[in-house]
Amino acid sequence: MSEPEYETRISLYFRKPYPFHLPYSLIFSSQILTFSHKHIFSNKQRSSFSVIQEKSTMESFYQQVDKLEEVFIERLRAAIEIPSVSEQEDKRDNVFQMAKWLVHEMESLGIQVKQKDLGKQPGKDINLPPLIIGRYGSDPSKPTILAYSHYDVQPAALSDGWDDEPFELTQKEDGRLCGRGTSDDKGPLLNWLNMIQAFKKAGQEVPSNLVFCFEGMEESGSQGLADALKEESTGEFAKIDSVCITDTAWSTIDRPTLIRGLRGIMFYHINIDGAESDAHSGAFGGSLSEPMTDMVNLMASLVDSRGEILVPGIYDDVLPVSAEERKALGEIKMSKDSFDGGINGKLLHEDQADNLIARSRKPALSLHGIERASPGKGASTIIPGRILGRFSIRTVANMNIAKIDELVQTHLKARFQQLGSKNKLSVQLTGRGDWFFEEVDHWNYQAAIQATEKVWG
């Protein structure tokens, strides 16, 4: 087998073509399970456990990976061609089509599948796509790994800067596979299926039991997921030994990265109501209390041009960065392009450690847009009667969502009162996801570290 090439991943937020390499990513998945198998039983001191003879076992598996490469690529091609964009509510059928296709692929490999109905999208008469729960293997002598991925994607079009049609799989001259979802997250998701197929073709057992959690609303705030996880915590997701999330970015575009923590998210909507309909600025400008003026003032009061959040008290519970941590962040081998994902953005921090601290260890507040609450074809000089502003906060370890929400609500309402506006304000926390931070000495991380070294060197 030739030396492994690197999988290239670019963060989903940049909306650029995501290159992807087969088969080395799925080999990594198999190695994680193999090393997890060894670690968990070593820690449990099971004398009856005999270590898998990796050389002979994996060599046969590698051979099947090479033989099945075109099969894997065609599977990815079929998935990419389904535009399962969850935020496009008028095209939600595409997400359901993706779910149906995925269930068929899973069942064809012998995976037991359950589609969990998540009901209606909150506040709307539209169904949420199902949470797909799969199970492969139930051997009590093996550890059970929960694998998470998602089958929905972000919008994409040639006008966004793609070289090729985003919903058609394109293979570049250097072997990279590009298309919406190749890296986030259909490619990583399908590698779990590809791995099972390669083991089956090699006539070998997968070294761990697998439970799959595949959702279809990750790109739209994972609506319905939290309740489903609670419901299944004593059901399908009970007795899980560890979790492997295949939906994260690398610190650079050419170096594998193991994630020990992720920032949380709080989505906000600011609504300002001034009039029942829009007005003409030529006739009414200067005589009305304009919602847009209020909104611009409120949005500007949230964050400054250096990225510092202006909400009083928001940094109070943020854990300080130790000298050792700063030193470690500064020593990570990164290219300059990896600082901004290659989008040529203007960096707030030229120092690598400061850049990584801003991206991972400090909270961030981003303004996403201001929209007319009642869109129409009005002229560009209209005065909107109602305005919707959107922003989000990325939370970090030790921050409490309820406390942060209280701080944000208090700040915005106080600022609005200072404006003396006659308009009506409402602030809504429309979505949330908590942060997580784990210790790397856990056997799950140790297995991942060994798997990374084994595959990528």
Q: In this structure, are residues 218 and 247 in contact, taking their beta carbons and an 8 Å threshold?
A: yes
- For the question of residue 7 being annotated catalytic, the response is no
CA distance 190 to 449: 22
Catalytic residue among 7, 152, 184, 219: 152
Q: How many residues does the chain have?
A: 457
- For the question of residue 304 being annotated catalytic, the response is no
Q: In this structure, are residues 289 and 386 in contact, taking their beta carbons and an 8 Å threshold?
A: no
Number of Cβ within 10 Å of residue 17's Cβ equals 23
Q: Which residue has the tokens 């939370």?
A: 395
CA distance 205 to 147: 17
CA distance 314 to 271: 22
Catalytic residue among 184, 185, 218, 278: 218
- DSSP state, 85? B
Strands 131-136 and 144-150 turn out to be: unpaired
Strand intervals (E) in 249-403: 261-262, 264-273, 279-280, 364-372, 382-383, 386-395
Q: Please give the radius of gyration of the chain, using alpha carbons only, rounded to the nearest integer.
A: 24
Q: In this structure, are residues 229 and 133 in contact, taking their beta carbons and an 8 Å threshold?
A: no
One-letter identity of residue 341: G
Sheet strand arrangement including 131-136 = 112-116, 131-136, 209-215, 144-150, 242-245
One-letter identity of residue 148: Y
Give 17-72 as a DSSP string: --EE-TTHHHHHHHHHHHHHHHHHHHHTT-TT-----HHHHHHHHHHHHHHTHHHH
- DSSP state, 219? G
Which three-class secondary structure state does DSSP give residue 303? strand
Catalytic residues: 152, 218
